[in-house]
């Protein structure tokens, strides 16, 4: 699954930009420029996934990361995904499977032009971090067929019972030491400097502290952030190529300061149409957003005064608000714990408990599930979670269905109707409670 809106195109963004957003745009532009020069400069390129990404390791070996999930979501936002998916289906890929994969394959078959309009460099290594999603494994098997480059697999066990056992950690650390790092060193042509890895993990830690403070700010009324639509921008740097860099530390300091300022001024979040109006509903959202109609989708909420105070999608590339931080003191162990803790790597009971906690902690009026057709990892079991959460919290849940990047599965009118009826129901409920 994943992820954040590392977007290049101004019309896809909220009307007014914060300084942090301008900074993020610069960081992304720099990264893509580095990628464009990579082959000429002899830099090695590693394709990997957002959940369980080993960015600090990639950076410490002086390699550059490409995240195909982000390319797919970008293609969705830039209205290219329908064509790419059609291309992949024409080449024999089933209409039943994850559309991120098909979007990526279609993009590759159409020349591999990335979000900035330049051709993406081919991978020197496919780093298969198998965390929380079975499809990842098939995705990189498919890419290996196309690129004929080495693949290295990191199998991350599933946290069924919400507990990381020493055996799980040891299994990952052993893979890192004996398989993953040697394979990466071979491609990088250099040895890993553990001090450099630790330095980067320290930087990650700092950025993570600031990100958690940003999530926490949603406890204020009004919430100064939208933790879903706005949230996907906030996680952009930390979920992708920037965790463990000074850039990311600076970005999160800046973001935190802006959010603190909005708290001080009792302002709500930014929306696609400017600053939010009155906060009428506080929602928690489970499931990824739709990217092909991202702004339309957001407006369905923002125009009704609905702010998302917390979301699980923004935890797929790392769950920090329960206390985990990357640690320079135990580098490999902390990378292991990070991979194990990504949201979709958690058992359904743990996911449900997390949502319950968000509903209570952020005093949500309701919670909504956006169930996407593509993603069994997220979606299988959501209806059980819905029932369970209603039972535990007494807060009513809503359910809508769409897809990540296949516009055929985004029924705008239908989703809008459902959402409006849901919000009306919340309103009526509130009226009854105060009567």
Write out 366-434 in H/E/C secondary structure. Answer: EEEEEEECCCHHHHCCHHHHHHHHHHHHCCCEEEEEECCCCHHHCCHHHHHHHHHHHHHHHHHHHHHHH
Which of 53, 314, 345, 377 touches ligand SF4 by CB under 6 A?
Answer: 377
Q: Is 143 in the site for ligand SF4 (CB under 6 A)?
A: no
- Please state, in angstroms and rounded to a whole number, the distance separating the CA atoms of residues 53 and 315: 13
Q: Is 163 in the site for another protein (CB under 8 A)?
A: no
Task: Give the binding-site size for another protein (rule: CB under 8 A).
Answer: 50
Which of 29, 91, 194, 425 touches another protein by CB under 8 A?
Answer: 91
Q: Which does 153 bind (CB under 5 to 8 A by kind): ligand SF4, another protein, none?
A: another protein
- Please state, in angstroms and rounded to a whole number, the distance separating the CA atoms of residues 27 and 1: 22
- Cα angle 354, 360, 366; round to 5: 95
Residues 55-74 binding ligand SF4 (CB under 6 A) are: 69
- Could you tell me the smallest distance in angstroms from the CB atom of residue 245 to another protein? 29
Q: By CB under 6 A, which span of 8-16, 27-35, 228-236, 372-380 interacts with ligand SF4? A: 372-380
CB neighbours of residue 18 within 10 Å: 19
Residues 401-420 binding ligand SF4 (CB under 6 A) are: 404
Which letter does DSSP use for residue 290 in this model? P
End-to-end CA distance of the chain: 43
Q: By CB under 8 A, which span of 88-96, 198-206, 286-294, 308-316 interacts with another protein? A: 88-96
Q: By CB under 6 A, which span of 57-65, 148-156, 356-364, 370-378 interacts with ligand SF4? A: 370-378
Most distant CA pair in the chain: distance in Å?
Answer: 71
Residue pair 69/135 in contact (Cβ under 8 Å)? The answer is: no
- Could you tell me the smallest distance in angstroms from the CB atom of residue 118 to another protein? 28
Residue pair 21/89 in contact (Cβ under 8 Å)? The answer is: no
Q: Which does 100 bind (CB under 5 to 8 A by kind): ligand SF4, another protein, none?
A: ligand SF4
Nearer to ligand SF4, 136 or 297 (CB): 136
Nearer to ligand SF4, 211 or 404 (CB): 404
- Please state, in angstroms and rounded to a whole number, the distance separating the CA atoms of residues 287 and 289: 7
Q: Which does 304 bind (CB under 5 to 8 A by kind): ligand SF4, another protein, none?
A: none
Which of 46, 108, 133, 346 touches ligand SF4 by CB under 6 A?
Answer: 133
Q: Which does 428 bind (CB under 5 to 8 A by kind): another protein, ligand SF4, none?
A: none
Burial class (CB in 10 A: 0-12, 13-18, 19+), 265: exposed
Q: By CB under 6 A, which span of 13-21, 151-159, 216-224, 371-379 interacts with ligand SF4? A: 371-379
Residues 74-113 binding ligand SF4 (CB under 6 A) are: 98, 100
- Could you tell me the smallest distance in angstroms from the CB atom of residue 255 to another protein? 32
Residues 100-139 binding another protein (CB under 8 A) are: 101, 128, 130, 133-135, 137-139
- Please state, in angstroms and rounded to a whole number, the distance separating the CA atoms of residues 73 and 313: 13
Which letter does DSSP use for residue 86 in this model? H
Nearer to ligand SF4, 1 or 339 (CB): 1
Residue pair 73/53 in contact (Cβ under 8 Å)? The answer is: no
- Please state, in angstroms and rounded to a whole number, the distance separating the CA atoms of residues 103 and 240: 19
Binding mask 360-399 for another protein (x = CB under 8 A): -----------x-x--xx-xxxxxx---x-----------
Residue pair 1/378 in contact (Cβ under 8 Å)? The answer is: yes
Q: Tell me the residue ranges of DSSP E strands in 215-303.
A: 270-271, 274-275, 281-286
- Name the phi and psi angles at 132, rounded to 5: 80, 0
Contact residues for another protein, defined by CB under 8 A: 91-94, 96-98, 101, 128, 130, 133-135, 137-139, 141-142, 145, 151, 153, 155, 157-158, 160, 167-168, 170-171, 174-175, 178-179, 347-349, 351-352, 371, 373, 376-377, 379-384, 388, 401
Residue numbers at the binding site for ligand SF4 (CB under 6 A): 1, 69, 98, 100, 133, 135-136, 344, 374-375, 377-378, 404
């Amino acid at each position: 699954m994943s992820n954040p809106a590392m977007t290049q195109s101004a019309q896809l963004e909220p009307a007014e930009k914060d300084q942090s957003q301008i900074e993020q745009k610069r960081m992304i532009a720099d990264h893509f420029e580095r990628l464009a020069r990579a082959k000429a400069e002899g830099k090695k390129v590693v394709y990997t996934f957002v959940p369980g990404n080993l960015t600090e390791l990639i950076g410490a070996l002086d390699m550059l990361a490409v995240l195909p999930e982000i390319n797919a979501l970008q293609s969705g936002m830039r209205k290219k995904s329908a064509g790419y998916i059609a291309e992949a289906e024409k080449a024999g890929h089933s209409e039943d499977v994850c559309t991120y994969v098909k979007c990526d394959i279609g993009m590759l078959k159409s020349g591999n032009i990335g979000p900035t309009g330049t051709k993406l460099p081919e991978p020197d290594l496919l780093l298969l971090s198998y965390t929380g999603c079975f499809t990842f494994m098939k995705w990189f098997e498919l890419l290996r067929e196309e690129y004929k480059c080495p693949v290295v697999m990191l199998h991350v066990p599933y946290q069924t019972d919400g507990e990381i056992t020493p055996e799980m950690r040891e299994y990952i650390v052993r893979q890192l030491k004996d398989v993953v790092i040697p394979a990466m060193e071979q491609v990088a042509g250099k040895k890993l400097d553990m001090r450099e890895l630790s330095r980067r993990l320290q930087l990650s830690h700092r950025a993570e502290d600031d990100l958690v403070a940003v999530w926490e700010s949603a406890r204020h009324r009004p919430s100064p952030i939208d933790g879903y639509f706005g949230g996907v921008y906030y996680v952009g740097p930390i979920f992708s190529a920037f965790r463990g860099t000074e850039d990311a530390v600076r970005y999160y300091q800046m973001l935190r300061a802006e959010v603190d300022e909005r708290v001080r001024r009792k302002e709500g979040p930014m929306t696609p149409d400017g600053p939010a109006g009155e906060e009428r509903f506080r929602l928690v959202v489970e499931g990824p957003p739709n990217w092909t109609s991202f702004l339309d989708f957001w407006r369905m909420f923002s125009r009704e005064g609905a702010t998302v105070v917390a979301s699980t999608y923004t935890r797929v590339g790392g769950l920090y608000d329960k206390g985990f931080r990357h640690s320079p003191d135990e580098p490999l162990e902390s990378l292991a714990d990070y991979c194990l803790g990504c949201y979709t790597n958690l058992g359904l009971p743990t996911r449900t408990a997390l949502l319950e906690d968000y509903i209570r902690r952020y005093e949500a009026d309701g919670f909504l599930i956006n169930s996407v057709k593509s993603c069994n990892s997220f979606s299988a079991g959501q209806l059980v979670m819905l029932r369970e959460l209603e039972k535990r919290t007494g807060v009513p849940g809503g359910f809508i269905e769409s897809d990540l990047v296949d516009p055929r599965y985004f029924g705008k009118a239908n989703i809008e109707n459902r959402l409006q009826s849901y919000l009306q129901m919340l309103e009526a409920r509130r009226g009854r409670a105060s009567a």
